[in-house]
Structure 1
Amino acid sequence: MTNDKLRIIIVGGGIAGLTSAIALRAANRQIIVLEQSRLNREIGALISLQPNASRIMETTWGLGAEMEEARGMVDEGLRIFDTDGSLVNEIPLLSKTEYGGSRIIYHRNDLHEALKSAATSSHRNGEPVTIRVSSRVVSCDPSEGKVILESGEVLTADVIIGADGIHSVLRKSVIEEEPAAMPTGTSAYRLMIPSEVLEEQEPQFCTKINPRDPYTSMIVGHSCRLVMGPGRRGDMYGVVAMVPDERMNEDPSLRQSWVSEGSMSKLLDTFAEFPSWLTSIFKHSPELGLWQLRDMDPLSTWHRGRVFLIGDAAHPMLPTQGQGASQSIEDAEAVGAFFEDIEQSPSMEQLERIFEKIFRSRHERVSLIQGYSRQAAKPGTVKEQKTVTMKPDEFMDYNCMYRGAKKWLQTVSPV
């Protein structure tokens, strides 16, 4: 391997891959992101970044201008309604100024485009990142630092970051006995509706829940859960409808990815017990995604040879705490922090030490958040290897007071 530049390949062009590319940009580095899709775009859905992640984006990486372009919306709190539309409880989210960031809601595609712009910008440190689309990785040799594309092309790098999601190909090269992603008994629909359409055609809904108010709204009933909120500064309204698999009118085993298309008639059948003022809004969504929620027990390691796994490839988790994307961003910050002083190709011994520091700074924290997210999905019914005993507000502090991987490694966190 040449020592001219530190060569980095990132497999996966989603949020984990792009943020790790941003974090790793520096002088004397060549970074290539390999994305299997042809367009490298996200489909329509809202996504939240928690204060622990939004602080990294703005303060650590200086992405203020890019995030402004992404039209994020600060979430001021959680409102819980009953099925009659009456407000039952309200939990503000702006009172914790010590978090150093806000919970911000983005349209997934807007966030993705902003991150791609930052990664490829000529105005940031280091060379712009190269993004190669239609570059599906089918196998990897961790010892040699090689990835093999579906086309047969072989690419070599000093460092390979596996950010290729829950169905990761690179995970197979790191873990000898790869664990399966486990169905959790819950599936979820995603809907996106223009707020203007709701205001014009669903006045009964809007009198109960204002689609432009900067709040996440939740309605639980009949063993189902609706989580709703605005995005694109109030112009779009997102709905996630979570359903026990046994209550669905679709076969969840056929829906292994959230990009699968759902059936509107079957969604309405599933929510037939809910009031019409609520379910009547569903039909206005031009897209209907359906995916079976799956997660995975913590892995024993995230690295082998020149490969390091991050994001859903390393620790897929349920959306009940809204921490999936935020933990990927924490991973990216950790990778950037521990490679900060590395300018040339590291030896295998040096790389092992770096990878192990990153792993130790992340594994315990992420595993706990994984467990809590699973526990919150089925409270009182899921047995965890490590029971989370903190109260919800204490766990919120645990999530959001994070100040980076190096500082975390120096402290013993309460569990």
Structure 2
Amino acid sequence: MPTATPPRQFRLIIVGGGIGGLACAIALRAPDREIIILEASRMNKEVGAAISITKSWGIEDELKRGGGAVDSGFQIFRTDGHLQMKSKSQKPIPLPFKTSDYDADRLCFHRVDLHESLKGLATDPSRPGNPATIRVASRVLSCDCESGIVTLENGETVQGDLVVGADGIHSKIRASVLGKEVTASPTGLSAYRLIIPKEKLLTIPHVSAMMTDDNPWTTMLLGRDCRVVMGPCREQSLLSIVALVPDQLMNEQASTSWTAQGSLEDLLKSFDDFPPWIKDTFKACPDISLWQLRDMEALPTWYKGRTILIGDAAHSMLPLQGQGASQSIEDAEALGYFFRDIVAAEEKKDHVTRRLEQVFEARNPAEFMDYNCRYSGAEAWLTGSRAAATAKSAA
């Protein structure tokens, strides 16, 4: 009697190996699944500034070991150098997220450290479920959303039972889902990014304390048009700065690339009326980059057939509340929840589509701070939605 051929594993194709794509791979790992991440780059160039997340997902300890530090508070200066917002003890205003009803620390990372930690969790063979396979230099052109067939720039095709477009604000998968090109538009703001080693800052007022205190904090300087947000990362060995400037006040042309070179001279001109100590901080930076912030109108849908968009591909985020990475991770958690029991490769497309619809419904935004910090995952959302529907029908 012939031996039955074992069923093929449920195959997931994740387009994009950034924070959102890696988080998806972590959330979707299971024994009977094959996870392939298609990443356009070769993952060999360190880019990015500091990044913060305020979520409880069960991997916080691993992330802290990867360089995440708890942000303990914040302070705000005016352009004349006056400390405008501080606590009664003249210390930074505390951020007791873990002891508040938000129940999670605000963790600050160098983006590269967070990315490396997530990559390790996605590919570690010792963790539960099959590890993800990352294919670098795999640039995707399009996707047949109904069949789950992804076409690469070199002509190769890869088919999945579920395709996740985690390929950022310039997503190729977005046009396949929507049936048309939707591009991001300039917001009128551009941002300088600076990463400065701690040893270059120890004599600069206000900055040195932030880099040496046992409980590091975030510092902001707010002007009429420009602002600076900065804080330590990589266990306080680096200071990360984002300096926002309206495009009409720019002294140079910004790019849409994260790695475009910025000019120290032009940066100092844009922040000429800011305190001398922040300009001294700018001067300590060995490398300055500048990019133009772009945004999109809300998309009518994020899914089609066997395909869904997540992260900036679905809902681009400006770096004003530090929510881009957090929202991508929440998207990943929701996918993991709604696909938690699917293992069969023969899963019907309509069934997959229905689950993607549930992910989309679970990820619609609610109130500002509650959505930033109190969103408790897809299961809690689903339970709350059912309770609300029951109460409405009873009324």
- Could you state the TM-score of these two structures normalised by the residue count of structure 2? 0.89
Structure 1: which 5+ residue stretches go unaligned?
369-389
Secondary structure (helix, strand or coil) at the match of 1:333 reads: helix
Number of aligned pairs? Answer: 372
Secondary structure (helix, strand or coil) at the match of 1:203 reads: coil
CA RMSD of aligned residues (A): 2.0
Equivalents in 2 of 1:78, 1:124: separation in Å?
Answer: 36
**CA radius of gyration, larger in:** 2
Query: Residue 105 of structure 2 aligns to which amino acid in structure 1?
Result: S
Query: Residue 300 of structure 2 aligns to which amino acid in structure 1?
Result: S
Residue 33 of structure 1: how far off its partner (Å): 0.5
Query: Residue 35 of structure 1 aligns to which amino acid in structure 2?
Result: E
- Structure 2 equivalent of residue 284 of structure 1: 284
Secondary structure (helix, strand or coil) at the match of 1:109 reads: helix
Equivalents in 2 of 1:77, 1:357: separation in Å?
Answer: 36
Q: 1:49 aligns with which of 38, 47, 53?
A: 53
Within the alignment, does 1:85 sit opposite 2:81 as a pair? yes
Encode CA deviations 1:242-273: one digit per residue, 9 max, x unaligned: 00000001123xx1122222122211221222
- After superposition, residues 11-30 of structure 1 pair within 5 angstroms as 11-30=15-34
CA 1:269 to 1:235, structure 2 compared with 1: closer, same or farther past 3 Å?
Answer: same
Secondary structure (helix, strand or coil) at the match of 1:165 reads: coil
Residue 205 of structure 1: how far off its partner (Å): 4.9
Equivalents in 2 of 1:408, 1:152: separation in Å?
Answer: 41
Equivalents in 1 of 2:212, 2:250: separation in Å?
Answer: 30
Query: Residue 130 of structure 1 aligns to which amino acid in structure 2?
Result: T
CA 1:129 to 1:193, structure 2 compared with 1: closer, same or farther past 3 Å?
Answer: same
Query: Residue 352 of structure 1 aligns to which amino acid in structure 2?
Result: T
CA 1:98 to 1:40, structure 2 compared with 1: closer, same or farther past 3 Å?
Answer: farther
- Structure 2 equivalent of residue 379 of structure 1: none
- Structure 1 equivalent of residue 272 of structure 2: 272
Greater fraction helix: 1
Equivalents in 2 of 1:30, 1:100: separation in Å?
Answer: 34
Encode CA deviations 1:195-241: one digit per residue, 9 max, x unaligned: 12111xx434546x533341111001241000011111211111110
Within the alignment, does 1:134 sit opposite 2:130 as a pair? no
- After superposition, residues 246-325 of structure 1 pair within 5 angstroms as 246-252=248-254, 255-325=255-325
- Structure 1 equivalent of residue 96 of structure 2: 94
Does the 8 Å contact 1:222/1:273 carry over to 2? no
Equivalents in 1 of 2:51, 2:84: separation in Å?
Answer: 25
- Structure 1 equivalent of residue 391 of structure 2: none
Structure 2: which 5+ residue stretches go unaligned?
1-5, 87-92, 389-395
Encode CA deviations 1:323-374: one digit per residue, 9 max, x unaligned: 1110000000000000000011221110111111111111x21xx5xxxxxx
Query: Residue 53 of structure 2 aligns to which amino acid in structure 1?
Result: L
- Could you state the TM-score of these two structures normalised by the residue count of structure 1? 0.85
Identity of aligned residues (%): 51
Encode CA deviations 1:76-100: one digit per residue, 9 max, x unaligned: 1221112343321134211543322
Q: 1:158 aligns with which of 153, 161, 177?
A: 161
Equivalents in 1 of 2:134, 2:183: separation in Å?
Answer: 29
Equivalents in 1 of 2:207, 2:11: separation in Å?
Answer: 53
Equivalents in 1 of 2:262, 2:39: separation in Å?
Answer: 25
Encode CA deviations 1:298-326: one digit per residue, 9 max, x unaligned: 11111111111000000001121211110
